[in-house]
């Protein structure tokens, strides 16, 4: 049985396959609409999340499966003090696969050690958020046509931003990716990512505090939110949250074929006026996340849909909903 | 000159950095060993080290975890003794994994709340002797 704890759980070849499957699902959605008939996804969310939970639920529903779960620790047995290992043993009897978000880092790994069903890490504290990374990789691959030989600017909270850490770890496995790390001194990429991941892999990178200076060189700009919940000190948060705001003026400095990504939710780091710019792809990114999660669910459940089966008609598939 | 007699069966840990022997006593949980006699020689003169600590443990062979000593300091030498003679000198290396030896200090780690969860650390960088928590991957910094 296989779990998904980190994007590095998959080899580059396996990731290619996963993204190929996601692309096929995106193109031929109807073909997969009964792939998970009779299967159940448990969404165990110990901390609030709109996007990730609904994205997982949407993915399972689109595959013809069903979902059950809870949306906060308060509405689960965790409030009574139940351990993660006990909870997953129970959930294993109720569902076929589980997506777990937990504020404590490593909780999904603990769950996977006691689970009888595949567990997907849907975000654990500041540690990892592998399906966000899979969505990021799939978006770049879909929109830029490749995952090698490009320059990516990562901007904002690079210290606590788990999506950034995971994305860097995943991208260093591809050739010729140049990283531009844009952040204030206080939110710089932690040394263990810089030294253990970037430098060890031989990837090239530069650090800067100026988004304006970095803009003209970027193929991809990945913006992040300064997250209030990662700070112990309110003063630091207030001081740092408005440092980078991407607006129309800054967008003018970027190339025509650059894309702007964001793991969402955004607060004010991307001005609403940027949304209409064709280079703004963060909503597309959220949409594509559903397809890669569908591909992941199918892969972990070991379900294969014959790619050569012709698509059923819309009427036939529509009756499921 | 202080004299401590030899041991019949057990271990002699030599070349311990002066002042470290109490820490090793705790790590090895020597206080919990039944039927063990422990002698600690602290701040002994050493040609190689200036000063050093030595621990002599009279106990059945196999009752202490030598891997932990490798984690604490792999320069420590371990003589294994049986029938009053040294039968081997153990070469220590950094263990690949540590279980319930050190605790994760990351307050966001699942080990801070999950009941009876083993504290597991994995050696991720042998050159710099970096151990990371298996669950949250935070590097251990309290050695």
Q: Which domains does chain A have, with CATH numbers?
A: 7-128+289-318 (3.40.50.1370), 130-284 (3.40.50.1370)
Mean pLDDT across chain A: 91
> Residues of B with CB below 8 A from A126's CB?
108
Question: A193 or B91, which is more confident?
Answer: A193
- Is A178 a known active-site residue? no
What are the domain boundaries of chain B? 10-90, 97-133
pLDDT digits (tens, 9 = 90+) for A83-135: 999 999 999 999 999 999 999 999 999 999 999 999 999 999 888 899 999 99
- Write the DSSP assignment of B54-109 as a string of letters: EEEEES-TT-S-HHHHHHH-TT-EEEEEETTEEEEEEPP---SEEESSS----TTB
- Is A188 a known active-site residue? no
Q: Which of A62, A101, A225, A262 is catalytic?
A: A101
- Is A80 a known active-site residue? yes
Cβ burial, residue B30 (10 Å; 0-12/13-18/19+): middle
Give the whole-angstrom CA distance, residue B57 versus residue A242. Answer: 61
Q: Quick one: pLDDT band at residue A82, thresholds 50, 70, 90?
A: confident
For chain B, helix, strand, coil in percent to 5 are 15, 40, 50
- Least confident residue range of A7-21, A117-131, A146-160, A295-309: A295-309
B134 touches chain A (CB under 8 A): yes
> Residues of A with CB below 8 A from B134's CB?
106, 109
Asked if A196 and B124 come within 8 Å (Cβ–Cβ), the reply is yes
Q: Quick one: pLDDT band at residue A321, thresholds 50, 70, 90?
A: very low
- Is A228 a known active-site residue? no
CATH architecture assigned to B10-90: 2-Layer Sandwich (3.30)
Q: Quick one: pLDDT band at residue A317, thresholds 50, 70, 90?
A: very low
Asked if B108 and A103 come within 8 Å (Cβ–Cβ), the reply is yes
Residue window 103-122, chain A: list those with CB within 8 Å of chain B. Answer: 103-107, 109-110
Q: At what angle do helices A282-301 and A51-62 cross, to 10 degrees?
A: 50
> Residues of B with CB below 8 A from A83's CB?
114-115
Say whether pTM exceeds 0.80.
yes
- Is A208 a known active-site residue? no
Give the whole-angstrom CA distance, residue B66 versus residue A183. Answer: 45
ipTM above 0.85, yes or no: no
Neighbouring-strand partners of residue A222: A154, A261
> Residues of A with CB below 8 A from B110's CB?
84, 102, 104-107, 109-110, 124
pLDDT digits (tens, 9 = 90+) for A249-295: 999 999 999 999 999 989 889 999 999 999 999 999 999 999 999 99
Give, for all 143 residues of chain B, the pLDDT tens digit.
Answer: 567 778 899 999 999 999 999 989 998 889 888 888 999 999 999 998 999 999 999 999 988 888 788 888 888 999 999 999 999 998 788 899 999 989 999 999 999 999 899 999 999 888 888 999 999 999 997 65
Asked if B135 and A109 come within 8 Å (Cβ–Cβ), the reply is yes
Tokens 């790390």 correspond to what residue? A181
Point out the residue among A83, A84, A104 whose CB comes nearest to the CB of B109.
A104
Separation in Å, CA of B107 to nearest CA in chain A: 8
């Amino acid at each position: 049985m296989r779990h998904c704890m980190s994007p590095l759980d998959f080899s580059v070849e396996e990731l290619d396959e996963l993204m190929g499957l996601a692309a096929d699902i995106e193109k031929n959605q109807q073909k997969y609409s009964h792939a998970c008939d009779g299967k159940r996804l448990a969404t165990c969310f110990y901390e609030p999340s709109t996007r990730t939970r609904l994205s997982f639920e949407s993915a399972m529903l689109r595959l013809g499966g069903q979902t059950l779960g809870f949306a906060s620790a308060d509405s689960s047995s965790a409030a009574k003090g139940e351990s993660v290992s006990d909870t997953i043993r129970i959930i294993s009897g109720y569902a076929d696969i589980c997506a777990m978000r937990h504020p404590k880092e490593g909780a999904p790994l603990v769950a996977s050690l006691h689970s009888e069903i595949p567990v997907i890490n849907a975000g654990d504290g500041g540690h990892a958020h592998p399906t966000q990374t899979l969505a990021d990789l799939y978006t770049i691959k879909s929109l830029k046509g490749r995952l090698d030989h490009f320059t990516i600017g990562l901007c904002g909270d690079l210290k606590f931003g788990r999506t950034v850490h995971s994305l860097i770890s995943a991208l260093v496995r591809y050739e010729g990716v140049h990283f531009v790390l844009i952040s204030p001194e206080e939110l710089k990429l932690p040394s263990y990512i810089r030294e253990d991941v970037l430098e060890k892999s031989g990837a090239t990178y530069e650090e800067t505090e100026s988004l304006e200076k970095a803009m003209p060189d970027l193929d991809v700009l990945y913006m992040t939110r300064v997250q209030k919940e990662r700070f112990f000190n309110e003063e630091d948060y207030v001081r740092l949250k408005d440092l980078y705001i991407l607006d129309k003026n800054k967008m003018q400095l970027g190339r025509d074929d650059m894309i702007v990504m964001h793991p969402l939710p955004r607060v004010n780091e991307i001005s609403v006026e940027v949304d209409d710019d064709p280079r703004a792809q963060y909503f597309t990114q959220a949409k594509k996340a559903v397809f890669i999660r569908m591909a992941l669910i199918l892969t972990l459940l070991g379900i294969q849909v014959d790619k050569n089966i012709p698509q059923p008609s819309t009427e036939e598939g529509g009756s499921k909903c | 000159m202080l004299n401590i007699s030899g041991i019949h069966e057990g271990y002699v840990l030599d070349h311990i950095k002066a002042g470290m022997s109490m820490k090793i006593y705790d790590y090895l949980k020597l206080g919990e060993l039944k039927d063990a006699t422990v002698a600690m020689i602290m701040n002994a003169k050493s040609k190689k080290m200036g000063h050093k600590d030595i621990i002599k443990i009279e106990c059945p062979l196999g009752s202490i975890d030598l891997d932990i000593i490798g984690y604490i300091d792999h320069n420590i030498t371990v003589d294994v003794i049986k029938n009053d003679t040294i039968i081997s000198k153990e070469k220590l290396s950094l263990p690949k994994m540590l279980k319930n030896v050190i605790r994760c200090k990351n307050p966001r780690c699942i080990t801070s709340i999950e009941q009876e969860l083993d504290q597991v650390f994995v050696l991720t960088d042998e050159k710099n002797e970096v151990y990371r928590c298996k669950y949250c991957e935070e590097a251990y910094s309290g050695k």
